[in-house]
Structure 1
Amino acid sequence: MTAMNGRPNQSAVARLETALARIRLLEAKNVFTGVFADSARWEAEAADRRAAAGSPRGPLDGRIVSVKALFDVAGTVTSAGSAVLRRLPPAVEDAEVVKLLRAAGAIVIGKTQMTEFAFSALGTNPHDGTPGNPRDPLRAPGGSSSGAVVSVINGIADIAIGSDTGGSIRIPAALSGAVGFKPTSGFVPNVGAFSLSSSLDTIGPIGSNVADCFIADQVLSGQSTPSRLRSAPPGTFRLIVARGRLFDRCEPEVLDAFEDAIERLRSGGLRIEDGSIEASLDRVAGIDRIGTFPSIEVGATLRGLGLSSLDGVDPKTRVRIEAGAAILGTDYVRMVRLRKAAIQFFEQSFGNNEVSVLPTTPIRAPLLSSVEEDATFHEYNGLVLRNPRVANMLDCPSVSLPLPVDSLPIGLMLVGRRNSDRRLLEIASRIEAMLGPQPQGSPTRCRIGKASANASK
């Protein structure tokens, strides 16, 4: 429960103890790789003292936050979901984003599970275990920030901090039913975070609503005087439905939910028109024909950590890293130059008050049993990455909103103009309010119709 000012009614200590108890439940299996109970209790007590004195540090003070396992936390090993990194020495200091969270009064409860090296999008991890989708534990939660999204939906953390290189915040948000925000690169510091791709990595929040993501983003981006989120008035922006190849292979349930949402928004007075980003997608495809940045750049990260062999790495991950090792240095330089041109082209194609809108992923969460085979895994992994990764390649802010469906979650994705992060969140807040609340009830007991139960088999 929260008060009218957005701050929780319960004390931070009481809410933390409830969260720690939930971590011990079966539904939280494989969600955390480390729990910081002692330091979190100290932080909660300090937050309650500040609240009693009327001197909170801001809207994040006393809120419970989880952080992905690729962030340095002093005294712990940054395993990034990989068995081969467990041999590294513990971090000597917190990552920059963890420092910012603590300075803002957040209670850092623990590190959340992730896919190995953040290099896949379904949320599976053969080393530490895979957390089940909180809406249906037999299904994939989405990744790579898998434990992050489950920690929020299962009521353990108010906000989770993840990373997004090709959709790793927005994909789990879409498949599990949360809000996920990816900022423009450069606003949030990456220092102290394991790097999958130095070109594409971004850090952002997963939350239950846009307002919580806005609060977290302000802290992560180092804004010294946080402002209040104000929803964009309906007549001040325009939605462009990005018709074309990003709608290919969409499940009928995804298309139906998306079109229903668009009609509801249009009926509510929003300006919406069909459009195209195909020219920009052609430029991205031209880069992909040469190679992919994560496949190349994660190899450099691992070598920098002293790993000379990929022995012990999940074969599904290893094959992608080995593909990147075959790319010539001259071709990598071409990729960098082509991406710079693609970013400039896309940025000039629309304004701060125009937003592209499309399904976050073309499919809903697949059954975990259906992605055990390598061929099926790579097929579904590519499908869920296809739409979100465009915003990473073109360096745009992007947010995934859960659609109000009483079945497996479906995400609606907004892509804004580069550097228009705050404006995008204002627009997202308006859309969130117009779409209405999510179905209530226990996450693992949402009703799944026949079509949903058979999806992606």
Structure 2
Amino acid sequence: DAENHRAPGGSSSGAGVSLLEGSAKIAFGTDTGGSVRIPASLTGNVGIKTSRGRWSTAGIVPLSTTFDTPGILTRSVADAVFGFEAIDAKSRHSSTKIRARELSEVRLGVTKDYFWDKCQDDIASVVEGTIAELIDGGAESRDVSLPEAHEAVEVMAGGIIAASEGYEFLTNELPGWAELLHPIVSGRMYTGRDSLALDYMTALRRVQQLWLRAEAQLADVDVLATPTIPITPPIVSEVEDMEAYVAANMLTLSNTMAGNSLNLCGVTIPVGLDNAGMPVGLQLLAKLHDEETLLSVALAVEAKIGTPKERLGPSPLGGSN
């Protein structure tokens, strides 16, 4: 934004910006609650959240062994598929490559509940317009009710699971480091320190039950289509106050956390600009370990609506697209 310094999303902030200004073609990140999809969406890039267990987390400093998933950010869906197939062990040993589906073969899940409740009107309009384009192009729209999203995000936002797992790692692998962390981060970790084992196990069991229910709800669709981020990227000066930061942070996370807390894989694709001229992302969520379907649909979307550069225009940072 030439007028205002805005948050680029995180925690893989540098990954998104490096793509935007042209110093990288593929960037790596980890997605525990949205940390690949959020910076990708806010910087007008594509971001893949892999399924839990699809890619190894060996060598990655953990936040949550339950929710951590590696991922990549790229400038286009085609680049994302290229990167995915190069990294993914299953894809490397398969003779079948991921190709764009015909839109007429896509079963597009559409919901009007949780994912839209906090969405700005201008962002909702862009995403709804994109979904309409896909349906006009031949995709089959199927109504989906997913009340599990609100419940799962509520459990995850409570912080007990991630904080307990993160604090355990700090205590046993990096003793003394918790005191050196930024107060926002250390405060989250201390939630784990102060929680009972019963609290942790109860929360974990609850989300695992929701995983099964969500899988059943999505059985008849290939992907669920939602807005990625429901708000415009915050102006940095407006979130320097802690209360404002926390509110904006939770809004930014609200839709992406559903992917992690429901044990799904997902991708965000740039589909337009909001009223502030900032990128808007379409989030596609698919069932566990169904990245092949997810990415074949994402390629179909890009084939229909154009690449991010075609859809959004040139990068405001002047980088190579």
The verdict on a shared fold, with TM-score over 0.5 as the criterion, is: yes
**1:300 matched to 2:173:** no
State whether residues 160 and 195 of structure 2, in contact with CA within 8 Å, keep that contact through their aligned partners in structure 1.
no
Mapped to 1, the partners of 2:153 and 2:262 lie a distance apart of: 12
Mapped to 2, the partners of 1:182 and 1:188 lie a distance apart of: 10
Mapped to 1, the partners of 2:73 and 2:251 lie a distance apart of: 21
Q: Give the match for residue 100 of structure 2.
A: 231
Secondary structure of residue in 1 paired with 2:314:
coil
Match for 1:355: what amino acid? V
Q: Deviations over 1:222-272 (max 9, x none)?
A: 243465331011122211122112212211221111121122122212112
State whether residues 284 and 390 of structure 1, in contact with CA within 8 Å, keep that contact through their aligned partners in structure 2.
yes
State whether residues 20 and 317 of structure 2, in contact with CA within 8 Å, keep that contact through their aligned partners in structure 1.
no
Residues 286, 373 of structure 1: alpha-carbon distance in 2 compared, 3 angstrom cutoff: closer
Alignment of 1:289-368 (within 5 A): 291-308=159-176, 310-351=178-219, 353-368=221-236
Query: Normalized against structure 1, the TM-score is what?
Result: 0.64
Q: Deviations over 1:40-70 (max 9, x none)?
A: xxxxxxxxxxxxxxxxxxxxxxxxxxxxxxx
Mapped to 1, the partners of 2:217 and 2:143 lie a distance apart of: 15
Q: Deviations over 1:261-303 (max 9, x none)?
A: 122122212112433201x125415634864322221111211
Q: Deviations over 1:124-156 (max 9, x none)?
A: xxxxxxxxx7x8771011011100111112111
1:213 to 80, 87, 90: 80
Residues 289, 219 of structure 1: alpha-carbon distance in 2 compared, 3 angstrom cutoff: closer
1:445 offset after TM fit, Å?
7.2
**1:371 matched to 2:244:** no
- Structure with more relative contact order (C-alpha pairs < 8 Å, separation 6 or more): 2
1:240 to 106, 109, 126: 109
1:166 to 26, 33, 40: 33
Unaligned stretches of 5+ residues in structure 1: 1-132, 447-457
Q: Give the match for residue 387 of structure 1.
A: 255
Residues 154, 290 of structure 1: alpha-carbon distance in 2 compared, 3 angstrom cutoff: closer
**1:422 matched to 2:292:** yes
RMSD between aligned alpha carbons?
Answer: 2.2
Secondary structure of residue in 1 paired with 2:24:
coil
Residues 136, 166 of structure 1: alpha-carbon distance in 2 compared, 3 angstrom cutoff: farther
Mapped to 2, the partners of 1:349 and 1:276 lie a distance apart of: 7
Residues 390, 245 of structure 1: alpha-carbon distance in 2 compared, 3 angstrom cutoff: same
Residues 430, 249 of structure 1: alpha-carbon distance in 2 compared, 3 angstrom cutoff: same
**1:255 matched to 2:128:** no
Q: Deviations over 1:183-213 (max 9, x none)?
A: 1111111000110111100001100111221
Higher gyration radius (CA): 1
More helix by share: 2
State whether residues 239 and 354 of structure 1, in contact with CA within 8 Å, keep that contact through their aligned partners in structure 2.
yes
Greater CA drift, 381-390 or 135-144: 135-144
Secondary structure of residue in 2 paired with 1:404:
strand
Residues 413, 289 of structure 1: alpha-carbon distance in 2 compared, 3 angstrom cutoff: closer
State whether residues 239 and 248 of structure 2, in contact with CA within 8 Å, keep that contact through their aligned partners in structure 1.
yes
State whether residues 352 and 417 of structure 1, in contact with CA within 8 Å, keep that contact through their aligned partners in structure 2.
no
Q: Give the match for residue 144 of structure 1.
A: 11
Greater CA drift, 184-193 or 333-342: 333-342
2:141 to 266, 272, 277: 272
Residues 342, 136 of structure 1: alpha-carbon distance in 2 compared, 3 angstrom cutoff: farther
1:419 offset after TM fit, Å?
1.6
Mapped to 1, the partners of 2:20 and 2:262 lie a distance apart of: 30
Secondary structure of residue in 2 paired with 1:310:
helix
Residues 309, 427 of structure 1: alpha-carbon distance in 2 compared, 3 angstrom cutoff: closer
Instruction: Give the count of matched residue pairs.
Output: 312
1:308 offset after TM fit, Å?
2.9
Unaligned stretches of 5+ residues in structure 2: none
Match for 1:378: what amino acid? V
Secondary structure of residue in 2 paired with 1:358:
strand
Equivalent pairs: percent with the same residue?
Answer: 30
Q: Give the match for residue 301 of structure 2.
A: 431
Secondary structure of residue in 1 paired with 2:179:
coil
Query: Normalized against structure 2, the TM-score is what?
Result: 0.90
1:351 offset after TM fit, Å?
2.8
Q: Give the match for residue 284 of structure 1.
A: 152
Q: Give the match for residue 76 of structure 1.
A: none
